[in-house]
Amino acid sequence: MSDAATFSSNFPNNPDLAAGQADKHIYFVDLSDNGSKMKLCYHLLILALRFITIIPHLLVFAFHSNKKLILSDTATVKNLILSLVFARQYRNLFYHRIGNIKYFFKWILPEDRTLDIPGSMKIGRTALFIHNTSSFLNAESIGDYFVCYHHVTLGTNRLGGQKKPVIGNNVMVCTGAVVVGGITIGDNVIIGANAVVVKDVPPNCTVIGSPARIVKQNGIRVDIPL
């Protein structure tokens, strides 16, 4: 099963990953879907002008020891190229994946300055940032198949604190959510929009609210305060 298909099965209610789209990665920019020849020409022109700026990125990717990890985010090299050109927030993830070598050429293709991903944080395979602006993602670690929307905060629960959350596999963090402190977010968890999570969340749960409470566990509707 492909990474995109895994996303689709884990989050069946996500319209971006609806049936029939499992073979198309979310970062992919389908130039034929723009509905306007003018837009098509514009995107082709931008792609042509930026081709030279992409060359060092592709060279690093080609010889990088974590090539499979980098490619897990976009599924194909074609999507990787289009993501670097059109999805500014993806560049943050790409630069995080390749390590310190990024400082030699990241200025050529700027990243999203509102999205902060500390270089020391471990991120598993297939991370997906959906129009992810104004977010601070400072977890202890993030597992595989991570989906994150905008205005999300992951970090310590106090100024100067050292304890940060551990995010499991197949976790979706929706818009405006705050996850702080030395807590553990289990596998297959959805954190709803604007939720504030300061305690451990068991696997296979959906949590919402401030303070957060579990509203679904193992597919069954519940109402359990954290």
- pLDDT value at position 92? 93
Percent of the chain with pLDDT over 90: 55
Q: Is the pTM of this model over 0.85?
A: no
Where do runs of H (alpha helix) occur along the chain? 3-10, 37-63, 67-71, 77-86, 88-98
CATH of domain 115-225: 2.160.10.10
Mean pLDDT, rounded, for 5-12: 48
Which part of the chain has CATH 2.160.10.10?
115-225
Burial class (CB in 10 A: 0-12, 13-18, 19+), 187: middle
Give residue 85's identity as a one-letter amino acid code.
V
Strand pairing report for 172-173 and 190-191: parallel
Question: What digits encode the pLDDT tens for the residues 141-190?
Answer: 999 999 999 999 999 988 877 899 999 999 999 999 999 999 999 999 99
Q: Where are the alpha helices (DSSP H) in 76-173?
A: 77-86, 88-98
Residue 145 Ramachandran class (φ > 0 left, ψ -120 to 50 alpha, else beta): left
Structure token pair of residue 72: 């897990």
Q: How far apart are CA 184 and CA 166, in angstroms?
A: 5
- Cβ–Cβ under 8 Å, residues 144 and 125: yes
pLDDT at residue 26 in the model:
54
